[in-house]
């Protein structure tokens, strides 16, 4: 039985047994591998980096979709950048109050193969009538669109290869322009214990643009090295300070059925360890 060794870090990593090979090929842009692992279910990797597994994807997708949507409280238009596996789309689609979802994925191959091999990620949501699917570079899209969104979710690969542009000041600036008055941008921002520079880099850019910016975290076994962070940039500073009762009421109103996310997790996720606060220049005593 072969093993899959993740190559994200040169000196530390994780190993999956390939209990069944499902697919391996070069898409137009990336090397894509899909296999079954007895513990984690179907696993997808792009360019040597694990992207998603059936077993723990719910943590990542629920935390990136519901936090900004519930915090905003009146979301009609959502933009997802990346997210080719369809898991983010599934979680956004759970909100029946949302009228339109635009998803901009650079690699059509990821979508097609995910529909085939990871159908539980999208659960048919690529057929949701509210979806407008655009195959394009997310950077190009946000720099040209005239649309405005209450929530933008950047569900990208790490900042190497095609996703590098999604971690630049130009990208955050363009997202800021496309957000409505009370809008929120969230982006996947790696695991700070392993990728502290990524966090510092994002912090240095968000602080020049957003009236309120911070990070929140969740531990997702697949993204090794401890909790991972998500960046939060908002045009309304009250959205990050909502009382528990408000969050509970909104979650109830949305009739959300979740496996990880709840109101207490929502609030607690913004509490960051001291070394992370130091790295982003927000030390506390």
Q: Quote the CA–CA distance of 240 and 90 in Å, as a whole number.
A: 24
Cβ proximity to ligand SAM, 191 vs 236, nearer residue: 191
Q: Which position among 155, 158, 197, 212 bears the catalytic label?
A: 155
Q: Quote the CA–CA distance of 228 and 193 in Å, as a whole number.
A: 8
Cβ 64 to ligand SAM shortest distance, Å: 8
Cβ proximity to ligand SAM, 110 vs 186, nearer residue: 110
155 is catalytic: yes
Q: CB count, 10 Å around CB of 115?
A: 16
Q: CB count, 10 Å around CB of 128?
A: 16
Interface with ligand SAM in residues 151-190 (CB under 6 A)? 155-157, 162-163, 165-166, 188
Cβ proximity to ligand SAM, 28 vs 181, nearer residue: 28
**190 φ, ψ to 5°?**
75, 180
What residue ranges in 61-112 does DSSP mark as E strands? 77-82, 100-105
Identify the CA nearest to 242 among candidates 165, 182, 152, 187.
Answer: 182
CB 29 within 8 A of CB 162: yes
Q: Binding mask 23-62 vs ligand SAM (x if CB under 6 A, - otherwise)?
A: ----------------------------xx-------x--
Identify the CA nearest to 48 among candidates 61, 28, 30.
Answer: 30
Cβ 284 to ligand SAM shortest distance, Å: 28
Q: Binding mask 62-101 vs ligand SAM (x if CB under 6 A, - otherwise)?
A: -------------------xxxxx----------------
Q: Quote the CA–CA distance of 46 and 114 in Å, as a whole number.
A: 12
Cβ proximity to ligand SAM, 183 vs 190, nearer residue: 190
Active-site annotation, residues: 155
Q: Catalog residues that contact ligand SAM under the rule CB under 6 A.
A: 51-52, 60, 81-85, 104-107, 110, 137-139, 155-157, 162-163, 165-166, 188
């Amino acid at each position: 039985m072969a093993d899959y060794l993740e190559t994200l870090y040169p000196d530390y990593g994780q190993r999956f047994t390939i209990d069944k090979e499902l697919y391996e090929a070069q898409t137009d842009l990336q090397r894509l591998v899909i296999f079954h692992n007895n513990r984690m279910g179907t696993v997808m990797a792009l360019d040597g980096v694990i992207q998603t597994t059936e077993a723990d994807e719910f943590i990542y997708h629920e935390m990136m979709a519901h936090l900004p949507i519930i915090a905003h409280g009146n979301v009609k238009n959502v933009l997802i950048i990346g997210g080719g596996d369809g898991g983010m789309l599934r979680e956004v689609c759970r909100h029946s109050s949302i009228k339109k979802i635009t998803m901009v994925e650079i690699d059509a191959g990821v979508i097609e193969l995910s529909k085939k091999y990871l159908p539980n990620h999208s659960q048919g949501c690529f057929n949701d009538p509210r979806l407008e699917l655009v195959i394009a570079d997310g950077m190009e899209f946000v720099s040209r669109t005239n649309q405005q969104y209450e929530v933008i979710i950047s569900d990208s690969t790490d900042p190497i290869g095609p996703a590098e542009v999604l971690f630049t000041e130009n990208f955050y600036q363009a997202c800021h322009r496309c957000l409505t008055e009370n809008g929120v941008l969230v982006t996947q921002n790696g695991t700070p214990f392993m990728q502290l520079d990524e966090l510092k880099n994002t912090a240095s850019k968000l602080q020049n643009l957003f009236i309120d910016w911070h990070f929140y975290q969740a531990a997702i076994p697949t993204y090794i090295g401890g909790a991972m962070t998500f960046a939060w940039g908002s045009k309304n500073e009250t959205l990050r300070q909502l009382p528990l009762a408000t969050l509970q009421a909104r979650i109830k109103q949305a009739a959300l059925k979740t496996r990880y996310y709840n109101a207490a997790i929502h609030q607690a996720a913004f509490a960051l360890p001291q070394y992370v606060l130091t790295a982003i220049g927000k030390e506390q005593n």
